[in-house]
Chains A and B, each alone.
Chain A
Amino acid sequence: MPAPTPRRRLTGLAAVALLAGLGLTACGSGDDVELVEGVTEQVDALDNSFAPEEITVPAGAEIEFRNRGRNDHNVIPADPDEDWTIEVEDFKPGSPPTSVRFTEPGTYDYYCSIHGTATAGMIGSITVEG
């Protein structure tokens, strides 16, 4: 049994709405999201891998997921209690990047469910530093 993870609170809706207008989603705890501007890391979905597979970013930094392969992919948190999925429909080859930001330090593992499981195949990891 994996250890239960603490429940993550809703990010302030206003912030989310603003971010969504920019194609951003914000996840993590805290009503006041401290966004780090000017730091954008890219993760590319290729066929069938994420590159780079591991990145480290400061809390609040923008991470852009891009599908630069030729096939469908998705981005699913390995921890089922996290909920920052990028669905296939929103992540078609060549479509605009989808951004996420984590405001809470920690390790966020993820995978593509078409080409991997939480532990094997098309997997990746984001380390968020405080």
Chain B
Amino acid sequence: MTITKRLLAVLLAVVFVAAACGSDGDESSDAPAAPTCDQEGTLNVPDDFDTIQEAADKAAPGALVLVAEGTYEEAVNVTCPDITIRGIDRNNVVLEGGFELENGIRILETDGVVVENMTAQNYTGNGFFWTGADGYRGSYLTAIRNGDYGVYAYGSVNGVFEHSYGSGSPDAGIYIGQCGDCNAVIDDFTSEWNGLGYSGTNSTNVTIVNSTFRHNRSGIVPNAGSYEGCAPPINNTIVGNVASDNGNLETSAIAVAAEFPGVGIIITGSNDNFVARNRVDDNPVAGILVAPTPESDPIGPIIEEPDPDCTEDSVPVSDAEIAELPNPLVWHAHRNEVVDNLAQGNDANGGWDIMTVEAADTENCFSGNDAAVLSPADLEQVAPCGGPFGEINAESAALIGLLDSMQADQNDFETVELPDPGDLENMPDAATAPTEPARGPVGEIDIDAIEVPAAPTD
């Protein structure tokens, strides 16, 4: 930009600022009536209420907001607890953001809310978003082309996302973060054509099973950072998923997703995770990569163990303390167990099926994987589960070189071409199924019974 252009920009900004400060302000208020949360039974939209928002503000605990087929240009805020908002048809109940509205349905510091069987698309922020919730569930949701995340839970605990689909988000199709004990399950989720398939910053005890993460820049990425609370992430279970064909440089992507493309599963800055029996094929950098998270401009120090009660926001340390922090701050991955995965065809571009660039003293372990190209080549001999740990000759420079070769434009989420997922599965008996406030995962998942999934056929 020339100096003249910069000056012009400043002058234009001056005009804008002056106008912005001089609000005459229409002093009447169009503020909506406060939610009453007192109507039981089924609240039909649009038969009984013109908008989803009006019904959601009236619904009593246990009530059902049942949305008929149609397109709803709404950004719904939910503050009535323990309600269910359900579309009658997942593919034909469409919340439309029009690249103007920020979030399709947002649940704010409100517990027990279920959202199911509908689509949210073209929001500048998120499709479906829970923040500060204890108890949440999203089922049979479709989130397409939203500017941040598709399906998103933040600072929330005791949740389930299942039978859902997210595509076209530059950050992640699905995200669960900032929870010292998330107690969350992701089951039967398909996430494709996003920056990341799954991202979870500082999330502990998330179980990801039976899901598909493909055609993203990278697939499944639990990660650490001081800019969110509840660091570091630990004890996540990633079993029986497909994380294949990532390294798609045509997606939109935020900077960090664009910087780390081409990997099926990245265990980065994250500890004590169990990564087993996943199918991880045809990713151009690595099938499974265990690596540190280099956090630039950190606002707090490394934390060894998260507070299991944490859902709290990060608080920066003093500027003087920040100046003393390493930059980047390196969150290492420790004691992760990578076993019995099927990782093939990730070397066509010079990459690796399974790779670690962490030193042996981090005690990440690798056993029983069906993988041809390991890095280092003797990985399962020098870092077997149960030990003992030998020396790891990490190929860090080669990894950086391959990542460098795949740097590409971040692309605009509004205009990227996306696949048409077709009609996606509806929930059973949407018109009549009873409601149940969300309290977290129901029953135990039999992790041991989950096998390596078959290759996708489409």
Residues of A within 8 A of B (CB): 1-2, 4-5, 7-11, 13, 16-17, 20-21, 25-27, 42, 44, 46-49, 51-52, 68-72, 80-85, 93-94, 113-117, 120-121
| The residue from A1, A10, A68, A93 contacting B18, defined by CB atoms under 8 A apart | A10
CB distance from B217 to the nearest CB of A (A): 15
Chain B residues with CB under 8 Å of A114's CB are: 102-103, 124-126, 148
Is A81 a contact partner of B21 (Cβ separation < 8 A)? no
Known: A83-B22, A94-B297. A44 touches B316 (CB 8 A): yes
Q: How far is the CA of A44 from the CA of B228 in the complex (A)?
A: 12
Is A13 a contact partner of B18 (Cβ separation < 8 A)? yes
Is B20 a contact partner of A84 (Cβ separation < 8 A)? yes
| The residue from A13, A21, A83 contacting B25, defined by CB atoms under 8 A apart | A83
Q: How far is the CA of A51 from the CA of B25 in the complex (A)?
A: 28
Known: A68-B227, A114-B102. A25 touches B27 (CB 8 A): no
Q: How far is the CA of A116 from the CA of B18 in the complex (A)?
A: 26
Chain B residues with CB under 8 Å of A21's CB are: 10, 14
Is A11 a contact partner of B27 (Cβ separation < 8 A)? no
Is A72 a contact partner of B148 (Cβ separation < 8 A)? yes
Is B79 a contact partner of A120 (Cβ separation < 8 A)? yes
Residue B398 is within 8 A (CB to CB) of chain A in the complex:
no
Chain B residues with CB under 8 Å of A113's CB are: 102
- What is the interface of chain A mostly: helix, strand, loop, or mixed? loop
CB distance from A76 to the nearest CB of B (A): 11
9 nearest interchain CB pairs?
A83-B23, A81-B25, A49-B313, A10-B22, A4-B27, A20-B14, A120-B108, A114-B125, A27-B21
| The residue from A13, A70, A81, A115 contacting B27, defined by CB atoms under 8 A apart | A81
**Residue from B23, B103, B108 whose CB has the most chain A CB atoms within 10 Å:** B23
| The residue from A16, A70, A72 contacting B256, defined by CB atoms under 8 A apart | A70
Chain B residues with CB under 8 Å of A80's CB are: 25, 29
Residues of B within 8 A of A (CB): 10, 13-14, 17-18, 20-27, 29, 31, 77, 79, 102-103, 106, 108-109, 124-126, 131-132, 147-148, 154-155, 171, 178, 201, 225, 227-228, 254-256, 297, 299, 313-316, 319
Is B228 a contact partner of A47 (Cβ separation < 8 A)? yes
14 contacts between A and B (CB under 8 A): A1-B31, A2-B29, A7-B24, A21-B14, A46-B316, A47-B154, A47-B178, A48-B131, A49-B314, A68-B297, A69-B228, A72-B125, A82-B25, A83-B20
| The residue from B14, B21, B29, B178 contacting A84, defined by CB atoms under 8 A apart | B21
- CB nearest to A53 among chain B residues: B313
CB distance from B418 to the nearest CB of A (A): 21
- CB nearest to A86 among chain B residues: B20
CB distance from B232 to the nearest CB of A (A): 16
CB distance from B154 to the nearest CB of A (A): 6
Is B77 a contact partner of A46 (Cβ separation < 8 A)? no
CB distance from A37 to the nearest CB of B (A): 19
Is B21 a contact partner of A26 (Cβ separation < 8 A)? yes
Is A71 a contact partner of B313 (Cβ separation < 8 A)? no
Known: A2-B31, A5-B25, A48-B131. A16 touches B17 (CB 8 A): yes
Q: How far is the CA of A10 from the CA of B18 in the complex (A)?
A: 7
Known: A51-B313, A84-B21. A117 touches B254 (CB 8 A): no
Chain A residues with CB under 8 Å of B124's CB are: 114
Q: How far is the CA of A5 from the CA of B31 in the complex (A)?
A: 15
Q: How far is the CA of A26 from the CA of B225 in the complex (A)?
A: 34
Chain B residues with CB under 8 Å of A69's CB are: 227-228
**Residue from B25, B126, B201 whose CB has the most chain A CB atoms within 10 Å:** B25
CB distance from A10 to the nearest CB of B (A): 4
Q: Give me 11 other A-B pairs in contact (C-beta within 8 A), A7-B25, A11-B21, A83-B23 excluded.
A: A1-B29, A46-B313, A47-B201, A68-B297, A68-B299, A72-B147, A83-B20, A114-B125, A115-B125, A120-B79, A121-B132
Chain A residues with CB under 8 Å of B313's CB are: 46, 48-49, 51
